Amino acid sequence: MKCPVCQIDVKDDAKTCKKCGVDLNQAPMWRPTWKWHLSVLAVIYVALIIAYFAISHFLKKLPPPYRLRDIPKEITPWIKS
Ligand SMILES: [Zn+2]
Protein backbone atom coordinates (compact mmCIF):
# COMPACT_ATOMS: atom_id res chain seq x y z
CA MET A 1 0.00 0.00 0.00
CA LYS A 2 0.96 3.66 -0.32
CA CYS A 3 1.51 6.29 2.35
CA PRO A 4 -1.41 8.79 2.15
CA VAL A 5 0.91 11.71 2.88
CA CYS A 6 4.12 11.17 0.87
CA GLN A 7 2.84 8.45 -1.58
CA ILE A 8 5.83 6.11 -1.14
CA ASP A 9 5.29 2.35 -1.00
CA VAL A 10 5.15 0.98 2.56
CA LYS A 11 4.57 -2.53 3.90
CA ASP A 12 0.93 -3.52 4.34
CA ASP A 13 1.48 -4.33 8.04
CA ALA A 14 3.50 -1.19 8.76
CA LYS A 15 2.20 0.95 11.63
CA THR A 16 3.95 4.14 10.57
CA CYS A 17 5.48 5.43 7.33
CA LYS A 18 9.25 4.97 7.30
CA LYS A 19 9.78 8.25 5.41
CA CYS A 20 7.43 10.81 6.98
CA GLY A 21 6.41 8.87 10.10
CA VAL A 22 2.66 9.34 9.70
CA ASP A 23 0.40 6.94 11.63
CA LEU A 24 -1.02 4.48 9.05
CA ASN A 25 -3.63 2.96 11.38
CA GLN A 26 -5.81 6.05 11.60
CA ALA A 27 -9.06 6.26 9.67
CA PRO A 28 -8.79 7.41 6.05
CA MET A 29 -9.26 11.09 5.35
CA TRP A 30 -12.73 12.41 4.72
CA ARG A 31 -13.35 13.03 1.04
CA PRO A 32 -16.19 15.15 -0.36
CA THR A 33 -18.91 13.31 -2.28
CA TRP A 34 -20.68 14.68 -5.36
CA LYS A 35 -23.66 15.58 -3.16
CA TRP A 36 -21.38 17.67 -0.96
CA HIS A 37 -19.97 19.45 -4.03
CA LEU A 38 -23.49 20.07 -5.34
CA SER A 39 -24.76 21.55 -2.08
CA VAL A 40 -21.68 23.75 -1.61
CA LEU A 41 -21.94 25.05 -5.18
CA ALA A 42 -25.66 25.71 -4.69
CA VAL A 43 -24.96 27.70 -1.52
CA ILE A 44 -22.25 29.73 -3.29
CA TYR A 45 -24.49 30.48 -6.31
CA VAL A 46 -27.44 31.48 -4.12
CA ALA A 47 -25.18 33.74 -2.03
CA LEU A 48 -23.77 35.39 -5.19
CA ILE A 49 -27.25 35.95 -6.66
CA ILE A 50 -28.51 37.47 -3.39
CA ALA A 51 -25.39 39.64 -3.14
CA TYR A 52 -25.81 40.84 -6.75
CA PHE A 53 -29.39 42.00 -6.20
CA ALA A 54 -28.62 43.47 -2.77
CA ILE A 55 -25.64 45.46 -4.10
CA SER A 56 -27.63 46.65 -7.14
CA HIS A 57 -30.44 47.72 -4.84
CA PHE A 58 -28.10 49.79 -2.66
CA LEU A 59 -26.17 51.25 -5.62
CA LYS A 60 -29.44 52.61 -7.05
CA LYS A 61 -30.08 54.48 -3.79
CA LEU A 62 -26.76 56.36 -3.93
CA PRO A 63 -26.83 60.07 -4.89
CA PRO A 64 -26.15 60.96 -8.57
CA PRO A 65 -22.33 61.47 -8.50
CA TYR A 66 -21.91 57.89 -7.29
CA ARG A 67 -24.32 56.25 -9.73
CA LEU A 68 -21.54 55.15 -12.05
CA ARG A 69 -23.81 52.90 -14.07
CA ASP A 70 -25.58 55.96 -15.50
CA ILE A 71 -22.85 58.11 -17.07
CA PRO A 72 -24.02 61.73 -17.55
CA LYS A 73 -23.90 63.00 -21.13
CA GLU A 74 -21.87 66.12 -20.24
CA ILE A 75 -18.81 64.10 -19.19
CA THR A 76 -18.74 62.08 -22.43
CA PRO A 77 -19.52 64.68 -25.14
CA TRP A 78 -17.73 62.64 -27.82
CA ILE A 79 -20.38 59.93 -27.62
CA LYS A 80 -23.29 60.98 -29.82
CA SER A 81 -26.19 58.64 -29.32
ZN1 LIG B 1 4.85 8.88 4.35
Looking at residue 42, its pLDDT comes to 98
Could you read off the pLDDT of 53-62 as tens digits, one per residue? 999 898 888 7
Looking at residue 64, its pLDDT comes to 67
Could you read off the pLDDT of 19-28 as tens digits, one per residue? 888 888 777 7
What is the distance in A from the centroid of ligand 1 to the CA of 2?
Answer: 8
Q: How many CA atoms lie within 13 A of 67 on its CB side?
A: 10
What is the distance in A from the centroid of ligand 1 to the CA of 34?
Answer: 28
Counting residues of the chain whose pLDDT is more than 90, the rounded percentage is 28
Looking at residue 59, its pLDDT comes to 82
Looking at residue 52, its pLDDT comes to 96
What is the distance in A from the centroid of ligand 1 to the CA of 15?
Answer: 11
Amino acid symbol at 72? P
More confident residue, 56 or 70: 56
**DSSP string of 30-75, one letter each residue:** P---HHHHHHHHHHHHHHHHHHHHHHHHHHHTS-GGG-TTS--GGG
CB atoms within 10 A of CB 10: 20
What is the distance in A from the centroid of ligand 1 to the CA of 20?
Answer: 4
Domain ranges of the chain: 1-29, 34-75
